[in-house]
Structure 1
């Protein structure tokens, strides 16, 4: 089986979609399958199984490039002669994936990593909701299968009138994210005292992460608590009891900081999945998260605490409850066991391969392409 992934999100050096594609690729190759990735960049670069195509730089969205030429993109994808094509965003690569799949008469899969409906609702105007739902329905109705990482996102797609949607949770590398990664000198590097609690968040500092809520919580908590932000970019409003690592970190470094912390704080209420919560749980630390988006599905009640969205005072109260009324170490251990049982990448890739084989099996063995000729 030859699978091609295409998404503009792979252009970022990190992020949930990048992790998903890399982890899936590792699993597919281990199963003697072929895998290629087509993604945007500054110029055309062909490097083994990775094809970078020129795309428009987006100054207002650092790290993102937007492809504008659907025809070029679709011809490149089709030229790779895949047995199945998967699109990981709701933009140009998705339309190109659909077109390439029709050229070759192969299945097209879309993964709903990005919640376009909520994104445009919050960043532009609720007035666009109807048009956005119509766009989502028109785009994804042309795919053989749409995968959603969570039930809350699947319900959003079902509400758009789509019927080709199935829930496919994501996974975590439990070898990389492991409690044994803890660094005994980590707290000293941050200048923390022996009894100070180290709280952590890792991810982009975008509007949807609601970092000001974390800042409100730390101001409410005061001394004795410290917040570490990893990869969020500059945060000039961060309180004095916070440390910001603005830059991207390799997964192993992020894993070491997670395992060295006491709990993850996550104020985002629009997550389609919330991979960093899973990484924290794999690192055997509990998660305090907003009770919104997909996070309640990812974090079981015995692995963390949930708080009302947009409420820093409530989050601070939950932090105190965690350390004063619960056993955070035992909670972290339960979180680790949950991840091992439910979210290993092998389990995720096995599920993906079953989806792929079912779709490919429903197609004729010979596919005809007016652009590339017959292939058996």
Structure 2
């Protein structure tokens, strides 16, 4: 079995998609299969990681550190050279019709919410509806099967008449992301007193992630009670840096590459806060809860939001503020909360389950064949 993964969302500051691809590299190695990963790069580059061949193809820069392929013909050349048994597109959909003539089965991992992401563009509603219909009819209907990381999106896509939608939840390394990684010295280095609660956000700094809302939220909180640490990169990084100079209870840290360092940051917090308008899975929610932090966010109807009672039912600053105060009370009165959250994540989300589900999806299409074709 040879799988070719194609995604533009794989670079130094990537989140969930890169984590999935990296874990898949390990899984393919254990399965003794072959894998090819095609991603954008500044120049052409080919290299090997275990059983996986990476191709970085020439691309042009986009906002926030992302890039996109200069030519889809470059990808077709890799397909013809490598002769994969399956193409899997992660988080990108519009290029799919260009590869149907290659005669290779295609799957897509619905990492990106096409409908809600399109709604962010300042164009007429009719045009947005037309673009989404194009994605559904010409791209998603054209593939052999669709992988979704949450049941919400399985329901949504099936309601559009799409078939062969398979639920493949992502996982988290619960040994790395663990409450025991808490480091009070780290908190003190930020000027966090023991009687203060540390609010934490880790992720992309962009409009759809609610970066503006996080700043507004913090301005309304008592600085003697709360301190917020924002970790990440993105187009709104300048906004966070500017407010850090004005707000005594705001600290900014850039993207953290080290999983061990990130685990320490998570576990050293008290409450994970997100103002994201939509998530297809919420990997940061899992990492935070595995580290023992309750998640205060808008209710996105996701399995990764474990404590439903502290979610904000409306997408505004006021209800999110109420969510934080609820979580604050919960922390004060429940000494076992951190261990409970870690246990729930460990029981329900693992990379082992991810790849069992993925294997089941492949088998349903008769795609399990031996290495070397």
Both proteins in one fold, TM over 0.5? yes
**1:324 counterpart (304, 324, 329):** 329
Shift of the 325–332 alpha-carbon distance from structure 1 to 2, 3 Å rule, reads closer
Partner secondary structure for residue 36 of structure 1? strand
Match in the other structure for 2:293 = 285
- Given the alignment, which residue of 85, 88, 91 partners 2:87? 85
Name the structure 1 match of 2:201: 201
Q: 1:311 aligns with which of 316, 333, 338?
A: 316
SS of 2:127's equivalent? Answer: helix
2:94·2:135 contact (CA, 8 Å) conserved in 1? no
Bigger mean CA deviation after superposition, 320-329 or 111-120: 320-329
Asked whether 1:190 is paired with 2:190, we answer yes
* Alignment CA distance shift 1:25-1:320 (3 Å): same
Give 1:21 deviation, angstroms. 0.8
Moved more, 25-34 or 38-47: 25-34
Q: Measure the CA separation in 2 of the matches of 1:338 and 1:98.
A: 41
Structure 1 residues 191-230: aligned runs within 5 Å: 191-222=191-222, 223-230=224-231
CA RMSD after TM alignment: 2.3
Q: CA deviation at 1:344?
A: 0.7
Q: Which residue of 1 aligns with 2:150?
A: 150
- By how many angstroms is 1:129 displaced? 3.0
Q: 1:276 to 1:142 in 2, by over 3 A?
A: same
Runs of 5+ in structure 1 lacking a partner? 366-374
Q: Which residue of 2 aligns with 1:272?
A: 280
Cα distance in 1 between the residues matched to 2:83 and 2:319:
53
Q: Distance in 2 between matches of 1:225 and 1:351?
A: 41
The alpha-carbon distance between structure 1 residues 362 and 249, as it changes in their structure 2 partners (threshold 3 A), is closer
1:51: which partner in 2?
Answer: 55
Q: How many residues are treated as equivalent by the alignment?
A: 357
Determine which structure has greater relative contact order: mean sequence separation of CA pairs < 8 Å that are 6+ residues apart, divided by chain length. Answer: 2
